[in-house]
Amino acid sequence: MISMLLSMMLEEMGFEVCATASTEGDAIREAERTSPDLIVTDMNLAQGTGGSAIAAICHVRPTPHVFISADAAAVKASKPDAIVLEKPFQYADLERAIGRAMLAALRSGGSTRAVAKG
């Protein structure tokens, strides 16, 4: 349900949602398969964590990312530089978090390209 709502919000922003995953393993496999330009992940997945998935994905291919969590302080304590969106959030909060993630990627020498529908 949350992934459907998040997918709809991202599509409204002009992004193409190339995959959704509910486990750490699925997230890693989908990232390998689709090479996304942005990843938005919950810290708590059905199996594993979003943090571990991002670490594995970015080890192979640095990718801008946003973490979603009900406890943003806990995420920031373990990942001080993380872009964290605390639940519940609004559309504008997601937009700002994505902007910050893309800017951080550019500053670190990465490339970002938005994939827009239509």
Q: What is the mean pLDDT of residues 73-94?
A: 95
Find out whether 21 and 40 touch, Cβ atoms under 8 Å.
no
Give the CATH number of domain 2-107; options: 3.40.50.2300, 3.30.70.2860, 3.30.460.20, 2.60.40.720: 3.40.50.2300
pTM of this prediction exceeds 0.85: yes
Q: Above 50 in pLDDT, residue 118?
A: no
Angle between helices 50-60 and 24-34 (to 10 degrees): 30
Give the pLDDT confidence score for residue 108 in this predicted structure.
81
Within 8 A by CB and 6+ apart from 59, the residues are none
pLDDT tens-digit profile of 21-57? 999 999 999 999 999 999 999 999 999 999 999 999 9
